[in-house]
A and B are shown apart, each in its own frame.
Chain A
């Protein structure tokens, strides 16, 4: 069964072709680079908050770590934007791969956990440090698992695809 035709339509647009085939260092690899920067900001900041909530480097005061959420959301915005462009460059490759949907699902849950951490643990200024840790421990564990899962599912995209471009 051939993949849906709209994938070919997207692939044939000038912009998609340019992203995919241009020799310019500012085409595909540039987008991929910013997707990696976004990963570093988003997952890097999450790991620090998760580890602290789970008892690593307890001397770090928890409340000011609230500021790290700004870095996470910037990373998330970068990756949402560059992610759309990457799909635009290789629509058939990504949208016909089960792993792509797995990655989006994992990220969906991870972002939900991140939002819960922010609103329930860090934006409730009535909580003491011990209460923040008690409330955040389970979320932090989920956050670690989900973000490492998101990276894994993302890396696997390079090894699991069925078509690179629309089959002719």
Chain B
């Protein structure tokens, strides 16, 4: 297996998943089906998470095929630019979906319609369109049967010419990220502040479920989760910017990929918490009350995985060049 395999394995999810999510979301609006709406929002959030390693695996895929005959650097660059723009919109859609899934306190059911749902509608449609372009430009790189054997960027439709104006040039972004060591230092500083915010808020909730500081009821502690999401957002932005600045350095690094794996497992852990009834079982726990076993297991794996993320992140520096496939 090399990075081309990994990229192909991952890259169909965000493209098709977003489309499926949008379809379900539209049906849920027409049919006023709340469960379906929730399902589509969960799909958007999951696709936003999966887009992260998909995007990162592109650099390695490029390394695996760029020396093959008939592979054009120009086409790859166009695909990268399209992917960067789609990634931005995908993450915004995911963040808005999480906001829409968040139930305001005191309202047992989410409001029938609010600004966050309008925003999800707008951004998920834009993301679906941009993802289609990522798929098309990506397919052009390696599928001469659909691209008609082109090696240069041909004149596209008016829409693709318009969209292309907003697509960043990958080389230019990389230059901007690494031009000043102070800018880099600032991004890393924010990455550590995000870490503290994330671990502090999630950690206290996990510890409470495991039996620490039992006098604290769980529902109010759960109000800290948006702060954890803010910490994650800071680290997602600074992490993706750092990757685009030094993509070769991160791509051929085992610690980096294991860190991504741990983050994906955390996504599953969060899904297990909210979708299996574990959250419902602890939501109402008052002072001194013990969490059931399932919630404790999920809390323990959350703590373990977050500390694994810190560990793997710390070891990136000493694991550079530990992957040598098709470099």
Interface residues of A (CB under 8 A from B): 25, 28-29, 32-33, 36-37, 39-41, 43-48, 51, 56-61, 63-65, 67-68, 147-148, 151-152, 154-156, 158-159
Contact = CB atoms under 8 A, between A and B. Distances in A.
Given A29-B317, A40-B195, A155-B189, A47 B200 contact: yes
Contacts of A39: 192, 195-196
Contacts of B103: none
Interface in B256-294: 287
Contacts of A29: 314-315, 317-318
B5 interface: no
Nearest to A147: B196
B185 A67 contact: no
A155 B212 CA distance: 31
Contacts of B198: 44
Contacts of A51: 224, 227
B160 interface: no
Contacts, number: 107
B314 A159 contact: no
Contact of B203 (A25, A44, A65): A44
A147 B195 CA distance: 13
A45 B314 contact: no
B223 A60 contact: yes
List of 4 A-B pairs having minimum Cβ-Cβ separation, nearest first:
A44-B200, A59-B220, A64-B215, A57-B223
Given A33-B310, A148-B193, A61 B216 contact: yes
A40 B203 contact: yes
A141 B294 CA distance: 38
A46 B287 CA distance: 22
A36 B307 CA distance: 10
A47 B197 contact: yes
B169 to A, nearest CB: 27
Contacts of B185: 155-156, 158-159
B201 A48 contact: yes
Interface in B212-250: 212-213, 215-217, 219-221, 223-224, 227
